[in-house]
Amino acid sequence: MPRKINIRFGTDGVRGLANDALTTEIALAIGRAAVMVLDAEKVVIGRDTRRSGPMLEHAVAAGACSEGANVELLGVVPTPLVAHAAGNDVGIMISASHNPYADNGIKIFGPGGAKLTDAQQQEIESVSSELLNSGSNPGPTGVDVGEITTDETAIESYLTEIESALQGRTLTGTRLVVDCANGSNSEIAPRLFKQLHSRIDAIGVEPDGVNINDNCGSTSPAALAARVVATGADMGIAFDGDADRLIAVDHEGKIVDGDQILAICAKDLAERSMLADQCVVVTVMSNLGFFQAMEQAGIKVIQTAVGDRYVLEELNAGGYSLGGEQSGHIIFRDLSPTGDGLLAAVILVDAVIRSGRTLAECAADAMVRLPQVLRNVVVKEPSAAVEFLQGAVKRAEEELAGTGRVLVRASGTEPKVRLMVEAVDEEHAAKIVSELEAELARLQD
């Protein structure tokens, strides 16, 4: 008897080993279900540079067309470009973001580039699982079958929209090193920075289908940092595989993470009376130093669960203008419906130029980052492991006595528990993380 397949969305869509956990049959079913649930007449589809991308792209497109929707293929583009190009239609991105090349994923945007609600995700899960398990389910025929076309204008429209955020300013004279992770931004980011008159040195721009995120990009910034120092650049920017997030490095090669970028941008917007309700939205993973800096600046902070979709929900609900994650998802809600690494990079560089200081000075002034130790531990049942650790977490919090923080959570995309401890010194934080890890080892035995 065939095994029953149940499709489950993680923090950001469906993700897994391509042609194994994520097959063409699953992709086709999701394409069909997205059209059915979202009542889509048109679907725009983009992908990153993974070898499995075209295979899954065509499967999703076939599924959408089989339910009567027309499809526009965007080719290799950043995830935020898909959200931008969706307009009043549905957007689908084929990407596993920062994961290794053998993985892939499917992210779905509703009309306006909006992240799906929990209810919409659950319905697509249910419908696509039913399609997979129930066998043949004929759709429209004849002229009612959807058509597939390509869109040659989406990239130019997207870049023009980003340029408009500078209100006529350029990035003239800035010396940048940009690491595109051999992913979605490999052609687009260098093109934009050149248009904005930066002196650009691009690395991670030779995708071959298997080198995306491979010792490059925002998850592996060592090569970027070394190149910045070696060339005497003003700063460096690194994107992840699908370019919806970034990190930066200063002229000394030191990392400037998402919290620091958010702090720089929040203070800059507040000083120009452009920060809605003097508020910024972040996840529970943000560094304690960020919260302290915002309090000192008179900026309110709202916390959400981990995941940029939760940040975006809060931004929309409160009408706020800025939010993001320590990992580098930065959302300028007035300018983009989702996290956008390239947009955030341009705004960050512009803010540094206008300050008349270096990125290092801007980051130091924006916040003082408390030592934070992060560790990912592979487990069989992440949710059960988190529950098991609650006693150990309580003891650790009592030990810190208000001078730090402990956060333990199940990954939304992998079979892992994520451990995070902040303390006055890194040695103390590392000690507590090791103790928590030892507790998990007891559970696994």
Which of 21, 12, 126, 121 shows the shortest CA–CA distance to 413?
12
Residue with tokens 């992840």: 240
User: How many alpha carbons fall within 13 Å on the CB side of residue 204?
Assistant: 35
Q: For residue 381, what are the CA distances in angstroms to 64, 352, 386, 414?
A: 34, 44, 9, 10
Cα 178–181–187 angle (5° rounding)?
Answer: 65
Please state the φ and ψ torsions of residue 131, each to the nearest 5 degrees: -60, -40
Are the C-beta atoms of residues 297 and 264 closer than 8 Å to each other?
A: no
Please state the φ and ψ torsions of residue 17, each to the nearest 5 degrees: -65, 120
Please state the φ and ψ torsions of residue 322, each to the nearest 5 degrees: -140, 135
278, burial (CB in 10 Å: exposed 0-12, middle 13-18, buried 19+): middle
Helix (H/G/I), strand (E/B), else coil: 303: strand
DSSP for residue 5: -
Helix (H/G/I), strand (E/B), else coil: 73: strand
Residue type at position 200: I
- DSSP string covering 331-361: EETTT-SS--HHHHHHHHHHHHHHHTS-HHH
Q: Given the residues 52, 66, 97, 128, select the one marked as catalytic.
A: 97
- DSSP string covering 166-205: TTT---TT-EEEEE-TTTTTTTHHHHHHHHTT-EEEEES-
- 148-150 and 114-115 as β-strands: parallel, antiparallel, unpaired? unpaired
Please state the φ and ψ torsions of residue 386, each to the nearest 5 degrees: -60, -45
Give catalytic status of residue 97 as yes or no.
yes
Contacts of 409 (CB under 8 A, 6+ apart): 284, 306, 386, 417, 418
Contacts of 20 (CB under 8 A, 6+ apart): none
Q: Which residues are catalytic?
A: 97
